[in-house]
Structure 1
């Protein structure tokens, strides 16, 4: 199986697992951590071009699991996190990882946040090294072992 197909299959599997837990993923901590994770993955290489910003915003709006929350609220939170990362990536990353860590108290939510990062990162069929690295860092912030997610 080609690498492209494995990435797409993995993202699809993660999305299916998330849908199964949709009703359990309604807390503010999950919402905030998910939007921070989306921003972190979008800015994984230290930059965000307008097309990438738009693509991730569309993925957020179309994600059934995130449908538990108002789309405008999600977009605002995503944009705020992204702005922090764009202004100063290293400093912003500390702030964004703190936001992600809020989901640490509920293991199911913490795992779902990581899965969302993988879904967003793999949506274009290429989960690159920068994206994998920031999702791995998020695992540490959430007290989850990265190898659980093949990171």
Structure 2
């Protein structure tokens, strides 16, 4: 099986797992951690380019699990997190990793945040090394072994 096919299959599987847990994923901390993850994936290469930002924003709007939250609220948080990364990437990244770390004590939410990062990163068919690295760092912030997600 080609890498592209495995990636699509993995993202589809993870999205299915997220949907199955949708009713458990309603906390504000999960919402914030998810948007922080999305912003980090969008800016994984060190910059937040407008097309990448728009692509991720549209994926957020159509993600079934994230429909637990008002779309305008998600968009505002995602935009705010992207802005933090644009102003000072390194400092913004530390702040966003702290936001992600707030769900570490809730294993279902923590794993769901990682899965969202993988789904968003792989949605274009290219879960590149920068995106993988940022999701791997989030795993460490959450106390999850990256190997659990083949990272």
TM-score between the two structures when normalised by the length of structure 1 = 0.98
- Per the alignment, residue 143 of structure 2 pairs with 143
- Per the alignment, residue 132 of structure 2 pairs with 132
Q: Which runs of 5+ in 1 are unaligned?
A: none
Alpha-carbon distance between aligned partners in 1 of 2:144 and 2:55, rounded to the nearest angstrom: 28
Give the C-alpha shift of residue 122 in structure 1.
0.2
1:78 paired to 2:78: yes
Q: How many residues align?
A: 151
- Per the alignment, residue 21 of structure 2 pairs with 21
- Per the alignment, residue 11 of structure 1 pairs with 11
Give the C-alpha shift of residue 81 in structure 1.
0.7
Residues 95-144 of structure 1 deviation map (CA, whole Å, 9 limit, x = unaligned): 01001011111000000000000000000000000000000000010111
Alpha-carbon distance between aligned partners in 2 of 1:42 and 1:9, rounded to the nearest angstrom: 21
Alpha-carbon distance between aligned partners in 1 of 2:107 and 2:92, rounded to the nearest angstrom: 25
Give the C-alpha shift of residue 59 in structure 1.
0.2
Residues 54-110 of structure 1 deviation map (CA, whole Å, 9 limit, x = unaligned): 100000000000000000000001111111111111111000100101111100000
Q: Which runs of 5+ in 2 are unaligned?
A: none
- Per the alignment, residue 40 of structure 1 pairs with 40
Alignment RMSD, CA only? 0.6
Q: Which runs of 4+ in 1 moved over 6 A?
A: none
TM-score between the two structures when normalised by the length of structure 2 = 0.98
